[in-house]
Structure 1
Amino acid sequence: MVKKVVRAADGVPPLPVFSQGIVTGNLLYASGCIGCDNDLKLVGDDIKAQTTRALENITKVLKAAGSDLEHIVKVNVYLINLSENFAPMNEAYLKHFEGVTPPARTCVGVAQLPVNALVELELVAEIPQ
């Protein structure tokens, strides 16, 4: 198996313990992205702003790998305070996928995320040939 590391030059710099993404075959496995700027500062304290920024961040990884929203196969969403944040997260999420068939998705409530983020997204996407 050949693995290629993906790094979005204009994206949030990865920490030394993970890669932004790994491509093997025609699939991209993107690490979790939170709603932070390139200095790892959260972009807001509300779920919609953080979801929007997390999707923007992970879209940069998709682009660096040669893929796009249309080719996402699966998204995993990790969410703080699921009962309160689920609906507003979905509003921001669906805006990002306008005009594209939404991928398969799992959403899980968690106790805590890095830098006290409210949401983290990871995905698997196809790399079109």
Structure 2
Amino acid sequence: MTVRHISTGSPFEAQIGYSRAVVADGWVFVAGTTGYDYATMTMPESIVDQCRNALGTIAKALEDAGSGLDHVVRVNYIVPDVDDWPDCWPITSETFATARPAATMISAGLQNPEMKIEIEVTARVP
């Protein structure tokens, strides 16, 4: 089995010991991704902006893996405050309009208090 690791260069990847994505046997497993702007290492205040940033980071990792958002088959959303979650629906429904992946939303605390959403996906390499 050939395994390829993809990094965004986030300092968290080295600190914690993980890859943004792992490609194995035609699958792409993207790690839980929060809303940081990795170019500036800043976190927007709103869940909507965090959701957009997370999906942008995921899209880039999938592209680097030879896949894309339209090939996502599973998505997990983790949101500390369930009342914030509906604000993301327009973004997620547009992002996954073609893929229509199986999805789960979990309410749980995240690593840092400023994090309002974390998104993890599994995709196929076409």
TM-score above 0.5, yes or no: yes
In proportion to residue count, which structure has more strand? 1
- Residues 113, 58 of structure 1: alpha-carbon distance in 2 compared, 3 angstrom cutoff: same
Equivalent in the alignment of 1:103 = 101
Equivalent in the alignment of 2:29 = 29
Give, as a single letter, the amino acid of the residue that structure 1 aligns with 2:123: A
Q: Does 1:113 align with 2:99?
A: no
Give the counterpart of 1:124 among 99, 122, 125.
122
Q: Which secondary structure state, in structure 1, belongs to the residue aligned with residue 19 of structure 2?
A: coil
* Aligned pairs, number: 122
Q: Does 1:92 align with 2:88?
A: no
Name the stretch that deviates more: 62-71 or 109-118.
Answer: 109-118
Give 1:29-108 correspondences, 5 Å limit. 29-38=29-38, 39-42=40-43, 44-82=44-82, 84-98=83-97, 100-108=98-106
Q: Residues 8-46 of structure 1, C-alpha deviation per residue, up to 9 Å, x if partnerless?
A: xxx45252111111111000011111111114321x211
Q: Residues 87-125 of structure 1, C-alpha deviation per residue, up to 9 Å, x if partnerless?
A: 102122123234x13211111001233462100011110
Task: Point out where structure 1 has 5 or more consecutive residues left out of the alignment.
Answer: none
Q: Residues 37-84 of structure 1, C-alpha deviation per residue, up to 9 Å, x if partnerless?
A: 114321x211111101110110000000000111101011110111x1
- Cα contact 1:48–1:91 (8 A) shared by 2: no
Give, as a single letter, the amino acid of the residue that structure 2 aligns with 1:125: A
Could you tell me the TM-score, scaled by structure 2's length? 0.87
- Cα contact 1:12–1:40 (8 A) shared by 2: no
Could you tell me the TM-score, scaled by structure 1's length? 0.85
Q: Which secondary structure state, in structure 2, belongs to the residue aligned with residue 110 of structure 1?
A: coil
Structure 1 residue runs of 4+, over 4 Å off? none
Task: Point out where structure 2 has 5 or more consecutive residues left out of the alignment.
Answer: none
Give, as a single letter, the amino acid of the residue that structure 1 aligns with 2:29: Y
